[in-house]
Chain A
Amino acid sequence: MSAALEVTNLTTDIQLSRSVVHPVGNVDVKIDPGQTLGLVGESGSGKSMLGLSILGLLPNGGHIVEGSIKVEDRELVGMAEPALRRIRGDAVSMIFQDSQSSLNPTKTVGEQVAEPVRLHRGASRKEATDRALEVLELVGMPQPKERLGTYPHQLSGGLRQRVMIAIALACEPRVLIADEPTTALDVTIQAQILALLDDLRDRLGMATLLITHDMGVVAGRTNRINVMYAGRVVETAPTDRLFSAMRHPYTQGLLGAIPRLESDNRRALTSIPGIPPDLTNPPPGCRFAPRCPFVTEKCIEHEPPLSGSDSIHRFACWHPVDGPIKRTPQIASVDSSVPKRSNGDAAHLLEVKDVFREYPITAGVLQRKVNSVKAVSGVTLHVDAGETLGLVGESGCGKTTLGKLIVGIEKPDSGQITLDGREVFKLRGRTLRKARRDVQMMFQDPYASLDPRMRVQASLREPLVIQGIGSRKEQDERVRRMLSEVGLPANAVERYPHEFSGGQRQRIALARALMLEPKVIVADEPVSALDVSIRSQVLNLMKRLQAEFNMASVVISHDLAVVKYLSDRIGVMYLGRLVELGSGDDIYRRAAHPYTDALIKTIPVPDPVVERSKDDAGIRGELPSPINPPSGCRFRTRCPRAQQKCADEVPELRRFGPGHRAACHFPLQTPILGVDADASPDVAVA
């Protein structure tokens, strides 16, 4: 049986205005029908470019320099364009990451799904529409007949992605290339789409190329994995073998850099220092050498070939490793299993009491408020000195809004936010300004949070200048110290933000947040915009600084593993409400709320054995709109345990253990009775 897709020694170049980039070099790929090959790498690894090369969709100035691409033994390299077009969308199709911009906003869903059918099968409009309906049903689109006439912007992200899959499958391709198909989606939706892709692959016998940066996604869904770095394939192996017995240091580092739910958050993450190379001028030897802990002279001068003792596991390294890193050092003085305070009645540093925030929606002739987005609906929590609280949830859960409320960028509609007992944001003028020293924020987007016109020196000095702290000399000194704390060179002060990479900018943002030595720091998605290998650098840094500065933090992220790694306690939010609150262990091992439980089960884990043993596809259904959230318990529309009571009554937070609470009428654990839910906070154990 010949391979459905066979790529040999493919090299692609892109001619830029001033230089030539070599995004893909000497890459081999082989996929049999009905199999999935995972192509893993970070940004700049060339994985997306490889997918585009196969279809001949390279950007302007791009062309295949050498190599061969065979689809069912037909050679694509050198094929004339009209013949290539017949293959595109028919024998080989592709799904892209961003479904929002990948669908034509002015054409209906039906038209777009029918288009490839009309093109490749010569179908009439009616026949094509019938087939479109068929395919939409195949991809699990609810109410497919009604959807034919809708426009892309009317659908949610998950549904739009189904439309993209439908378009790709309309002509029953032999090969499917999925480029980051679920990266832009929420975790629970991601699981649905991945399960759908698996199911379709089995039914249609397609060969699938799954391109992603997420090791968890490939762990359970692929037969084989190719790891790419800087345009080269550095390791290729069957999935199990790659995870349990990888040989390339990059693969080892990559897997060590990912925070995992089940691991101890007292251990540091493996970090790969530095940044990927510039592909207009790649290093002569091994491309990973500048960052490799095992590098020798040989590595710098000669590029290792892809080789191995057997033909199914091959790697490109002169000094291969033997499997994953066994132990990483413990991070000093961080003990997360014990709550920080010593007695139960001590005042909390930061208290959020019953906070509400809604955004009005106006409509009609007179622009009257007709509805509102219920961003935060009655959240109560607290953070103590020196501890880290994590807030996790999917889009629309209100965690970002809550972060903004805590920092004072927005004001709650009702409820209180107190710092050290004071309602800080009700103050005015100079007292408010002084009080702001205690609460600082690290923003999500490293590109947008620094003023592009200010040098780093000025950006870092700014908090001190505004607060009138220290003389010019003292301020400069503090800036210098902080820069070295976050691992940036001293000459960074002269530079502008655009001269730094994403990870470096995030360090600057962190440094700026720490300049005032605040009591509480709120970090909103601190690492989401960063590559995996850079993420671990910043996470380790944050963990070290947390211990060093002994400040309280609120870490907000959609990534539970990141949150669990950084936090002492975790709050799970859903559609504006806090549904569960507890330590990392509580959440991971003793989840009481069905949503938390589903989250734990659906998050892709970089462990093939665990992934494959997951049997259900997670939570059904789409996320309800925060404009019209369900009555009573907002999770009830997707909850397998929901009953009438859930629609009638809003569940209160009940205790399930020291510091562990959840709001559910039919929880997965037994609540501790006899204590009023809203009474004094959790009592310390030790």
Chain B
Amino acid sequence: MTGYIIRRAMVAVIVTIGIAVISFLMLHYLSPSPVYTVLGAKTSAAAAAAWNHAHGYDRSEPAQLLTYLGQLVRLHFGYSYKLGQSVSALFKENAGRSAYLTLAALVLSLIIAIPLGVAQAVKRNSLGDYTATAINFTLYSMPSFFLGLILIQLFALDLGIFPPTVSDSVTTTWQAFTHPLQLTLPIVTLAAINVASFSRYMRSSALDNLAQDYIRLARAKGLSERAVLMRHLLRNSCLPMITLIGLSIPTLLAGNLLIEVLFNYPGLGLLFYNALGTEDYNILLAYTVLGGILTVLGNLTADVAITVADPRVRL
């Protein structure tokens, strides 16, 4: 088993390097140098050339790539000229808040999706199953910000329970945690979209397992339906979920971005969005690479978790 993990880790490293290379090349193609953003659009060619030379933007592409990779290894994500800070510092500032939002939404969605999926499978084709499926399909087909707008309309504007956007006074993660009303709509919106896909998957996994013979044998032992579900079905149905969560990291990041923009929540997503507007390419590049690294780590963790949880996979 250790051999398997080491092999997967090595693959992960290769993939990460690949991500960095491709992202860098793409960014470089779009914006070879930030000189005009820094010095202004009307700066002279000579001044631009001088600045480029001073900052190493006139070297060959492979050379710049290598420098970039070298910086990455040391976790230097570059410098934001627009905001006047190192990208790493900016990330550190915002990461906590984003992590809180995403993790809270993830946990909430799992708490709802897992029992819901199992219940749907057990009561297959009942009215409840159809209703839940209909709701799931609709949520799944909805852009997350649209759901957010509907919730804002209903609960913030019409009913006034929650604020329509996160107040500016929430600046640290701790504050986010201690002001649940502020964060309710963002977390619920993000969770709702996740619930849609998770519970669909869970339902299908539970259905697959219900059709298996070992469920029939468990019943033949005289176990009550409830015992069969809890002791036999649940654990085996959750196994594919582990892989799914690992694979969902890109989706979670995307959702995070949209929700932060919608609710004006100061996190990495909002940072990225602003950088899009100001064409602050270093932030864009850094966040993309970071996203890639998180995805790779997520997959690796899921792989390892599966080998621990499922005895059949132990190699």
Instruction: Name A's B-contacting residues (CB within 8 A).
Output: 55, 57, 82, 85-90, 93-94, 96, 98, 101-107, 115-116, 119-120, 151, 153, 164, 167, 363-365, 367
Contact assessment for A104 and B220 in the assembled complex, using a CB-CB cutoff below 8 Å: no
Main secondary structure, interface of A, reads: mixed
**Residue of B at shortest CB range from A108?**
B311
Name the contact of B222 in the complex, choosing from A85, A106, A151, A367 (C-beta under 8 A). Answer: A85
The residues of B that contact A101 with a CB separation of less than 8 Å are: 212-214
Q: Is the CB of B218 within 8 A of A104?
A: yes
Is B7 part of the contact surface with A, judged by Cβ < 8 Å?
Answer: yes
Q: Report if A106-B311 is in contact (Cβ < 8 Å); known contacts: A88-B221, A115-B223.
A: yes
- Name the distance in Å between A27's Cβ and chain B's nearest Cβ: 20
Which residues of the partner chain A approach B232 to less than 8 Å between Cβ atoms?
104, 107
User: A88-B222, A106-B310, A116-B221 are contacts. A98–B3 as well, Cβ < 8 Å?
Assistant: no
Q: Is there a chain A Cβ closer than 8 Å to B219's Cβ?
A: yes
Q: A85-B224, A106-B236 in contact; A57/B311 too (CB < 8 A)?
A: no
User: B residues 78-136 with Cβ under 8 Å of A?
Assistant: none
Distance to closest chain A CB from B214 (angstroms): 5
Whether A89 contacts B222 by the Cβ 8 Å rule is yes
- Determine whether B6 belongs to the interface, using a CB cutoff of 8 Å to chain A: yes
Bound state CA distance, A598 and B223, in angstroms?
42
Interface pair B7/A102, CB less than 8 Å apart: no
Which residues of B approach A to under 8 Å, CB–CB? 3, 6-7, 10, 212-214, 216-224, 227, 232, 235-236, 239, 309-312, 315
Is A86 in contact with B222, judged by CB distance below 8 angstroms? yes
Given known A151-B311, A365-B3, contact A57–B219 (CB-CB < 8 A):
yes
Can you name 24 A-B pairs with beta carbons within 8 Å?
A: A57-B219, A85-B224, A88-B219, A88-B220, A89-B222, A93-B221, A96-B216, A98-B213, A101-B212, A101-B213, A102-B217, A105-B310, A106-B235, A106-B236, A106-B239, A106-B309, A106-B312, A115-B223, A119-B227, A120-B222, A164-B217, A363-B3, A363-B315, A367-B7
- Chain B residue at minimal CB-CB distance from A107: B232
Distance A86 CA – B223 CA, assembled complex (angstroms)? 8
Contacts of B220 in A (CB 8 A): 55, 57, 88-89, 93-94, 96
Inside 8 A of B216's CB, which chain A residues have their CB? 57, 96, 102
Interface centre among B6, B213, B310 (most CB of A within 10 A): B213
Q: Chain A residue with minimal CB distance to B215?
A: A104
Contact indicator B3/A90 (Cβ below 8 Å): no
**Could you say which of B214, B220, B223, B311 has the most chain A C-beta atoms within 10 Å of its C-beta?**
B220
- A contact residues around B315 at 8 Å (CB): 363
CA distance A365 to B9 in the complex (A): 10
Nearest residue (CB) in A for B232 is: A104
Q: How far is the CB of B242 from chain A (nearest CB, A)?
A: 13
Kindly provide the distance from the CB of A55 to the nearest chain B CB, expressed in whole angstroms. 6
Q: Do A365 and B236 form a contact, CB below 8 Å, given A101-B213, A153-B311?
A: no
B contacts with A: majority SS? helix
Smallest CB separation, A62 vs chain B (Å): 13
Q: CA separation between A461 and B216, bound complex, in Å?
A: 45
Q: Are A96 and B217 in contact (CB under 8 A)?
A: yes
For B310, the chain A residues whose CB sits under 8 A away are: 105-106
**A120 / chain B contacts, CB cutoff of 8 Å:** 222
Contacting residues, chain A, for B311 (C-beta < 8 A)? 105-106, 151, 153
Contact of B223 among A55, A85, A96, A102 (CB under 8 A): A85
Listed from nearest, the 3 A-B pairs whose CB atoms lie closest are: A89-B222, A88-B222, A89-B221
- From A107, A119, A153, A367, give the contact of B221 (CB < 8 A): A119
> Which A residues are CB-close (under 8 A) to B227?
119
**Inside 8 A of B221's CB, which chain A residues have their CB?**
88-89, 93, 115-116, 119, 167
Residue of A nearest to B235 (CB): A106
B3 engages A364 (CB within 8 Å): yes
User: In whole Å, how far is B227's beta carbon from the nearest beta carbon of chain A?
Assistant: 8
B223 to chain A, nearest CB (A): 6
Q: Tell me the minimal C-beta distance from B164 to chain A in angstroms.
A: 46
* Cβ contacts under 8 Å, A153 to chain B: 311-312
- Bound: A103/B218 CA distance, A: 9
A513 to B310, CA, bound (A): 43
Give CA–CA (A536, B239) in the complex, Å: 45
A55-B309 Cα distance, complex, nearest whole Å:
33
- Closest residue of chain B to A85 (Cβ to Cβ) is B222
Task: Report B-chain residues with C-beta under 8 Å of the C-beta of A90.
Answer: 222
List of B residues within 8 angstroms of A365 by Cβ:
3, 6-7, 10
Least distance between B89 CB and chain A CB atoms (Å): 38
In the complex, A82→B225 CA distance in Å? 10
CB-based contact B214/A119 at 8 Å = no
Q: How far is the CA of A363 from the CA of B315 in the complex (A)?
A: 9
B222 x A104 contact (CB < 8 A): no
Given the known A-B contacts A57-B219, A57-B220, are A104 and B236 also in contact in the complex, defined by CB atoms under 8 Å? yes
A164 to B217, CA, bound (A): 9
Asked if A105 contacts B312 (CB within 8 A), the reply is yes
For A364, the closest partner residue in chain B by CB is: B3
- Give the contacting residue for B214; candidates A87, A89, A103, A363; CB below 8 A: A103
Q: Name which residue of chain B comes closest to A150, CB basis.
A: B311
A104 — which chain B residues lie within 8 A by C-beta?
Answer: 214, 218, 232, 236
A contact residues around B212 at 8 Å (CB): 101
Do the beta carbons of A167 and B312 come within 8 Å of each other?
Answer: no
A86: chain B residues within 8 A (beta carbon): 222
- Say how far B210's CB is from chain A's closest CB, in angstroms: 10
What distance in Å separates the Cβ of A661 from its nearest Cβ neighbour in chain B?
42
- When chains A and B are docked, how far (Å) is the Cα of A88 from the Cα of B236? 23
Partner of B213, one of A85, A96, A363: A96
CA of A294 to CA of B10, assembled, Å: 73
How far apart sit A6 and B268, CA to CA, in the bound complex (Å)?
72
Indicate the member of A96, A103, A115, A364 with the most B CB atoms within 10 Å.
Answer: A115
Which residues of A sit under 8 angstroms from B10, Cβ to Cβ? 365
Q: How far is the CA of A107 from the CA of B235 in the complex (A)?
A: 10
Residues on B with C-beta less than 8 A from A102 are 213-214, 216-217
Q: Which residue of A lies closest to B239 (CB)?
A: A106
Task: Give 14 A-B pairs besides A88-B220, A103-B214, A107-B232 with Cβ atoms closer than 8 angstroms.
Answer: A85-B224, A89-B220, A89-B223, A102-B216, A102-B217, A105-B312, A115-B221, A116-B221, A119-B223, A119-B227, A151-B312, A153-B312, A167-B221, A367-B7
CB distance from A400 to the nearest CB of B (A): 24
Give the Cβ gap from B218 to chain A, nearest Cβ, in Å. Answer: 7
Nearest CB of A to B315, in Å:
8
Q: Chain B residue with minimal CB distance to A363?
A: B3
Of B3, B6, B217, B219, which contacts A103 at CB under 8 A? B217
With A and B bound together, what is the CA distance between A365 and B6 in angstroms? 7
Compute how far the CA of A269 lies from the CA of B223 in the bound complex, rounded to whole angstroms. 47
Residues of B with C-beta under 8 A to A116: 221-222
CB proximity of B305 to chain A, nearest CB, Å: 14
Residues of A within 8 A of B222 (CB): 85-90, 116, 119-120
A116, B311: Cα distance in complex, Å? 22
The distance in angstroms between the C-alpha atoms of A82 and B226, with both chains bound, is 12
> Shortest distance in angstroms between B236's beta carbon and chain A's nearest beta carbon?
6
Q: Residues of B contacting A119 with CB < 8 Å?
A: 221-223, 227
Residues of chain A within 8 A (CB-CB) of B223 are 85, 89, 115, 119
Chain B residues with Cβ below 8 Å from A106 are: 235-236, 239, 309-312
Tell me the smallest distance from the CB of A102 to a CB of chain B, in Å. 4
B312 / chain A contacts, CB cutoff of 8 Å: 105-106, 151, 153
Residues of A close to B236: CB separation below 8 A: 104-106
What is the CA–CA distance of A103 and B216 in the complex, to the nearest angstrom? 10
Given A120-B222, A365-B7; A105-B217 close (CB under 8 Å): no
For the complex, give the distance between the alpha carbons of A93 and B224 in Å.
15
Task: Compute how far the CA of A90 lies from the CA of B220 in the bound complex, rounded to whole angstroms.
Answer: 9
Measured CB to CB, the closest approach of chain B to A56, in angstroms, equals 9
Nearest neighbor of A153 in chain B, beta-carbon distance? B312
Least Cβ–Cβ distance between A207 and chain B, in angstroms: 17
A98: chain B residues within 8 A (beta carbon): 213
Which residues from chain B contact A105 at a C-beta distance below 8 Å? 214, 236, 310-312
**A116 to B213 CA separation, bound complex (whole angstroms):** 17
Which chain B residues border A57 with CB–CB below 8 Å? 216, 219-220
